[in-house]
């Protein structure tokens, strides 16, 4: 199976979130960048597990500027045969999806894997867009993926229960918790990652559909109201009369 794993670069989960330029840009100074956890822990590791059974190739793909190469190498240290970086500012979901779809189409991948969403934009938008642009089936937010013959079988938790869904290939899958366990890169992986091929591809032109006009921080929470441990009736009263949630 020819597998493409799409990875995003995101700020580390403990990053303090702030904005500059009149709240139009994320403050990047001093930020530690990582591979989006859903992409790394679930999509990439599951692709590697499939590869370890034999007969598959794993290519990593990122849409971003040259500064992203360090994070791409971090992902390559966990595994994968090679990587591709589409050289562009990932300005919006549709732009990123169109880049990925153009590359995936030219290389005829059987399985295109994503994490379920990025931890910075939380949109879960790109995988579905790529599927539509490829005219391919899409299994979103899958918690399990097995190769069966020339197709795949996934589990997908929904509000009604866990769906067991099969699909032909080529197929797009976004992955969430349950699909695999995170791996820590070893020294051999880190050394090997330095020399794995990282191809840079020019971006295709895409119309702009959305623009971020500004960012803001959530309204400051008022200070916590402390209730005496001996007066739980008071807590219940406040939940009913003040918070009005029961």
Partner 1 sequence: MSVLIFTEAVNGKIKKSSLEAVTYGSKVAAALGTQAVALNLNPGGADLSELGKYGASKVIVGKNASLASFDSQVYTAAIAEVAASVGATVVVTVNDSLGKAVAPRLSARLKAGLVAGATTLPNTAIGFNVTKNVFSGKAKAHYNIVSAVKVISLMPNAVQPEANGSAASVEEVNLNIGVSAKTVIKEVKRASTDKIALPEAELVVSAGRGMKGPENWGIVEDLANVVGAATACSRPVADIGWRPHHEHVGQTGVAIRPNLYIAIGISGAIQHLAGVNQSKTIVVINKDPEAPFFKAADYGVVGDAFEIVPRLTEAFKKYKAGH
Distance separating alpha carbons of residues 159 and 18, to the nearest angstrom: 34
Which C-beta is closer to partner 1: that of 187 or that of 224? 224
For the chain, the residue count is 246
- Look up tokens 């008071």; give the residue: 234
Q: CA distances (Å), 239 to each of 15, 95, 101, 214, 224, in order? A: 32, 45, 49, 35, 13
Which C-beta is closer to partner 1: that of 83 or that of 97? 97
Q: Is residue 93 part of the contact set for partner 1 (CB under 8 A)?
A: yes
Which C-beta is closer to partner 1: that of 76 or that of 134? 134
Subset of residues 135 to 154 that bind partner 1, contact rule: CB under 8 A: 135-141, 153
Q: Is residue 159 part of the contact set for partner 1 (CB under 8 A)?
A: yes
Q: Is residue 163 part of the contact set for partner 1 (CB under 8 A)?
A: yes
Kindly give, in sequence order, each residue whose CB lies less than 8 Å from that of residue 35, ignoring residues fewer than 6 positions away: 7, 8, 9, 10, 44, 71, 74, 75
Subset of residues 54 to 73 that bind partner 1, contact rule: CB under 8 A: none
Q: Is residue 51 part of the contact set for partner 1 (CB under 8 A)?
A: no
Distance separating alpha carbons of residues 145 and 85, to the nearest angstrom: 26
Helix (H) or strand (E) holding 171: strand 171-175
Tell me the closest approach of the beta carbon of residue 197 to partner 1, in angstroms: 29
Q: Is residue 108 part of the contact set for partner 1 (CB under 8 A)?
A: no
Q: Is residue 38 part of the contact set for partner 1 (CB under 8 A)?
A: yes
* 179 contacts 142 by C-beta, under 8 angstroms: yes
Burial class (CB in 10 A: 0-12, 13-18, 19+), 32: exposed
Q: Is residue 204 part of the contact set for partner 1 (CB under 8 A)?
A: no
Q: How many residues sit in the footprint of partner 1 (CB under 8 A)? A: 83
Among 49, 91, 128, 203, binds partner 1 (CB under 8 A): 128
Tell me the closest approach of the beta carbon of residue 85 to partner 1, in angstroms: 22
Residue span binding partner 1 (CB under 8 A) among the ranges 60-68, 73-81, 102-110, 238-246: 238-246
Q: Is residue 203 part of the contact set for partner 1 (CB under 8 A)?
A: no
């Amino acid at each position: 199976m020819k597998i493409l794993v799409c990875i995003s670069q995101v700020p580390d989960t403990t990053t303090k979130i702030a904005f500059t330029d009149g709240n139009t840009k994320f403050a990047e100074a001093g930020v530690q960048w990582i591979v989006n956890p859903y992409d790394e822990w679930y999509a990439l590791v599951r692709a590697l597990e499939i590869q370890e059974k034999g007969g598959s190739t794993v290519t990593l793909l990122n849409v971003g500027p040259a500064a992203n190469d360090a994070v791409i190498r971090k992902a390559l240290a966990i595994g994968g045969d090679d990587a591709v970086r589409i050289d562009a500012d990932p300005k919006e979901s549709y732009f990123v999806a169109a880049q990925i779809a153009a590359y995936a189409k030219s290389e005829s991948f059987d399985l295109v894997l994503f994490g379920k969403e990025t931890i910075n934009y939380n949109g879960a938008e790109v995988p579905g867009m790529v599927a539509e642009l490829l005219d391919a089936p899409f299994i979103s937010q899958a918690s399990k993926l097995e190769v069966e013959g020339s197709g795949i079988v996934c589990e997908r938790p929904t509000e009604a229960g866990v769906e067991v869904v099969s699909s032909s290939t080529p197929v797009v899958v976004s992955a969430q918790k349950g699909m695999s366990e995170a791996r820590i890169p070893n020294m051999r992986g880190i050394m090997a990652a330095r020399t794995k091929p990282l191809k840079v591809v020019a971006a295709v032109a895409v119309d702009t559909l959305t623009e971020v006009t500004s960012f803001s921080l959530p309204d400051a929470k008022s200070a916590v109201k402390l209730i005496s441990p001996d007066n739980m009736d008071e807590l219940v009263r406040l939940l009913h009369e003040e918070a009005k949630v029961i």
